[in-house]
Amino acid sequence: MTDLTYSIPITDPDPEVAVRQWFTLLGELCAAVDYDTTEGIFADDVVSFGTRADIVSGLGNLRRNQWEGIWGNIANFKVATESIQGFGDEAVAWGVVTWTSTGFDEDHNSFDRPGRATVTLARRGDRWLATHTHFSLNPGTPPRTYGRG
């Protein structure tokens, strides 16, 4: 289990606090390549776009088609928590953030891999869960990463 800044599930009633906690947790979990714990902050019916997957529906598909193809092939993933912006009400919240990571070309040379993300959170019972995410690379960033080798 990854050592986390916040606990899971995210239950703070303030939607802006929930967005901040969600992005912070996702950053820590992605950096730790902790797929199992990450599932606890996503809805089963999530629909997402990613840096690898064009569109995926369902948590299992998101894990297989995005997370498992990227997280182990990058390093130094970090959410720029100072850039988090969000808003919402008692049922739905949204947020945006920038992030950085290190990618690796076909020869396993490192390169800067910055991007941005959006999330939509839905309140399900007393928990906030991601129902939509969109992660994209900044323009000009190489689209593939091959790992350290």
3-class secondary structure, 126: coil
The architecture that CATH gives domain 15-137 is Roll (3.10)
Average pLDDT score over the chain? 97
Domain spans of the chain, in order of start: 15-137
Q: Quickly state the pLDDT bin for 149 (edges 50, 70, 90).
A: confident
- The per-residue pLDDT for range 50-104, each reduced to its tens digit, is 999 999 999 999 999 999 999 999 999 999 999 999 999 999 999 999 999 999 9
* Cα separation, 73 vs 94, whole angstroms: 28
* Cα separation, 116 vs 7, whole angstroms: 24
Whole-number pLDDT of residue 91: 98
Element (H, E) at 56: strand 56-57
CB atoms within 10 A of CB 88: 19
Whole-number pLDDT of residue 122: 99
Amino acid at 47: V
- The per-residue pLDDT for range 17-47, each reduced to its tens digit, is 999 999 999 999 999 999 999 999 999 999 9
Mean pLDDT confidence for 123-143? 98
pLDDT tops 90 at residue 125: yes
- φ, ψ (nearest 5 deg) of residue 133: -135, 150
Whole-number pLDDT of residue 77: 98
Per the DSSP assignment, residues forming a β-bridge with 97 are 117
Whole-number pLDDT of residue 71: 98
CA angle at residue 31 from 91 to 136, to 5 degrees?
65
Rg, the chain, Cα only = 15
pLDDT tops 70 at residue 1: no
* Cα separation, 106 vs 59, whole angstroms: 29
Amino acid at 74: I
* Cα separation, 129 vs 148, whole angstroms: 32
